[in-house]
Amino acid sequence: MRFLSAVWYSSIVSSHIDHKPFKFFLYDKNIYKRRIGRLIFMKKKWKDIMVMIPGKMKKHKKLTAALLVLFVLAGVFAGRLALTRKAKGGNQIQTQKATKGTIKKTVEGSGSVASAATQTISFSSDVSVQSIKKKDGSSVKKGDTIAVLTSSSLEDSISSLENQISSLESTLSQGAESASSTISSKVSGRVKRIYAKDGTAVAKTMDSKGALMEISADGKLKIEFKPSQTVKTGDSVTVKFGEYSVSGKISGVSSGKATAVISDSYYYDVDTKASVYNSSNKKLGSGKLKSNSPITVTGDKGTVSSIEVSKNQKVYSGTTLITLSGAGYSKTYESNLAKHEALVDQLEELKKEKKNLTVTAKYDGVVDELSASAGTTVSKGKTFCKVVSTTAYKVNIDVDELDIKEIKTGQSVSVTADAIEDKTFKGTVTKVSKIGTNTDGVATYPVTIELSDAEDLYPAMSATATITTQEASDAVLVPVSAVQSKNGKNYVAVVSDKSEEGTLKEVEVGIMNDSNAQITSGISEGDQVQVITKNTSNKSEGDKMMGPDGLGGGNGKGGGSGAPGGGSGMPGGSR
């Protein structure tokens, strides 16, 4: 009986320490106090039970009391161990504070170092090597002379071009006078509008007005109006404007508007307001006088030298309307002028090439591919040598197809070289190629990174580049394993004095990498959240990482383990 009683009490104590599979595992001093309080309460209850046990149990009261003390101490110890508890599969759940800091999401790639700039030297004619100042593989500073070359064919080409240019310039000077031209009327009629002005470029007037002049070609003016009563085509009307009263006729009626026409005259100006009356002298409506058949006068180049007609003047086909200056040259002159410009451009290029016969380095670097020696000839178009820059380097890496969409020019990069320990180089993404290669079913895309500091680096060194694709500072951060997902929403279990097992709070997640997740709303810095630590010794069970109310997570996709979630895991990010 004593043995059974002791076992019964031990089971009561242990059941209150770990009475069921824990939904959350946490460590909190308040919870610890509550656990001990329960044990003391149970001790008192046990004493009450012992009083009720008859007979021989009373005789061994001292022994029973000693056993009680031992069991209580064992229960306290077990409760202390339970503060860091285990979930199914051996995964541990602890509490951790949400902190503020900087979070980055990165993509990593490997490649090699290369020079960011290479000066390639070749010539458009055969050249002879007069002397070599720097050998292949030599280090050079910007401006150092590498070699001195000569070219008789280049000198001949320059001389020939100079003669051709001189001859053309003589021809051009003889016909260089500016060609005067005129704009004439193509129809007979009366000038009703003049937009052109003396000294104004034709193109400027065309841009602003759309024409240089307007001519009324049929000798008639019209007025469009809304009639106050019914009219029909052919009705006689009187058009009154200013001091004039002119007889006319209705020339058409359409869409509620009527048009009356009158004969044009030197005295009638377009845009003058006029009124139309019927045969009973009743006003039908009003409008403005316009050319009935307007012909616009246009141009495209030159400057107006003089206006040869006046407004309302009668003109005939061929009448000179405007005189222009600088309107253009003869076709022969323009052809010679174009040829002269082309020859001058060629001469400039040959003179630059002649200057380059003294080969100098454009920047600090190393002489490469220099095989010629003094007295030899380098053929036209063949590379004489290269200068590979040692002050500007780049790293070419291949990025996986799953990550390439995150890479943009201008992103910051950290680069490490296998041959240089404990040093990180900074760079920037300068080119992202859309043309990839597929090897064994995996596509990769070239990315170019320019380094801002390249001291100690050499071309062809192996390098690893870490590209920062996303970054946030002063962000509220929690471990990735604190984030759970269910039905497309994210949650974090927040622990407080009132809730020892944690209360789920919906949160908005920003950047997420292998270790941390940015919480943009839902919790604040300092909040205690539950974190699941995966036990790798029992991977099959740990992968489930069951949470409360069925919340659980599979393996996350991306770099690192996914956050716990319902069904499929929350992606863990690239890195």
pLDDT in tens, 45-54: 444 444 444 4
pLDDT at position 572, please? 35
Using only C-alpha atoms, what is the Rg of the chain? 48
In this structure, are 167 and 223 located in the same domain? no
Q: Is residue 567 over pLDDT 60?
A: no
pLDDT at position 73, please? 52
Q: Is residue 116 over pLDDT 90?
A: no
Residue range 423-450: mean pLDDT, rounded? 93
pLDDT at position 509, please? 95
In this structure, are 170 and 187 located in the same domain? no
In this prediction, residue 328 has a pLDDT band, given cuts at 50, 70 and 90, of low
Nearest C-alpha neighbor of 529 from the set 497, 483, 473, 475: 483
In this prediction, residue 289 has a pLDDT band, given cuts at 50, 70 and 90, of very high
- d(C-alpha 179, C-alpha 443), whole Å: 65
In this prediction, residue 325 has a pLDDT band, given cuts at 50, 70 and 90, of confident
In order of 181, 191, 302, 309, 311, the CA distances from 199 in angstroms are 14, 20, 10, 16, 19
- d(C-alpha 362, C-alpha 388), whole Å: 10
pLDDT at position 41, please? 40
Q: Is residue 407 over pLDDT 50?
A: yes
- From 89-98, 530-539, 549-558, the region with the lowest mean pLDDT: 549-558
Q: In the beta sheet, which residues pair with residue 215?
A: 191, 295
**Residues above pLDDT 70, as percent of the chain:** 74
Q: Is residue 144 over pLDDT 70?
A: yes
Residue range 467-491: mean pLDDT, rounded? 93
Give me the number of domains the chain comprises.
3
Task: Let me know if residue 477 belongs to a domain.
Answer: yes
Phi, psi of 141 (to 5 degrees): -100, 160
Residues near 28 by Cβ (< 8 Å), separated by ≥ 6? 83, 95, 495, 500, 528
Task: Let me know if residue 379 belongs to a domain.
Answer: no
In this structure, are 225 and 306 located in the same domain? yes
In this structure, are 226 and 317 located in the same domain? yes
- From 301-305, 382-386, 408-412, the region with the lowest mean pLDDT: 301-305
CATH code for position 517: 2.40.30.170
Residue range 205-213: mean pLDDT, rounded? 95
In this structure, are 452 and 522 located in the same domain? yes
Task: Let me know if residue 40 belongs to a domain.
Answer: no
Question: Would you say 122 and 563 are in contact if contact means Cβ atoms under 8 Å apart?
Answer: no
Task: Let me know if residue 80 belongs to a domain.
Answer: no
**DSSP-based three-state secondary structure for 13:** helix
Q: Is residue 344 over pLDDT 60?
A: yes
**Residues above pLDDT 90, as percent of the chain:** 56
Prediction pTM value: 0.42
In this structure, are 336 and 312 located in the same domain? no
- From 107-116, 333-342, 409-418, the region with the lowest mean pLDDT: 333-342
Phi, psi of 47 (to 5 degrees): -60, -40
In this structure, are 208 and 311 located in the same domain? yes
Residue range 134-150: mean pLDDT, rounded? 94
Task: Let me know if residue 370 belongs to a domain.
Answer: no
In this structure, are 175 and 188 located in the same domain? no
Print the domain residue range for 283.
Answer: 181-325
Cα dihedral 134→137→141→142 (10° resolution): 90
Residue range 352-361: mean pLDDT, rounded? 90
In this structure, are 189 and 270 located in the same domain? yes
In this structure, are 172 and 282 located in the same domain? no
- d(C-alpha 522, C-alpha 494), whole Å: 10
Task: Let me know if residue 539 belongs to a domain.
Answer: no
The three-point CA angle 122-124-129 to 5° equals 55
In this structure, are 248 and 336 located in the same domain? no
Task: Tell me which H or E stretch contains 203.
Answer: helix 202-209
Task: Let me know if residue 481 belongs to a domain.
Answer: yes
Residue range 46-63: mean pLDDT, rounded? 45
| Mean pLDDT score of the chain | 79
Task: Let me know if residue 260 belongs to a domain.
Answer: yes
In this structure, are 468 and 483 located in the same domain? yes
Residue range 102-129: mean pLDDT, rounded? 91
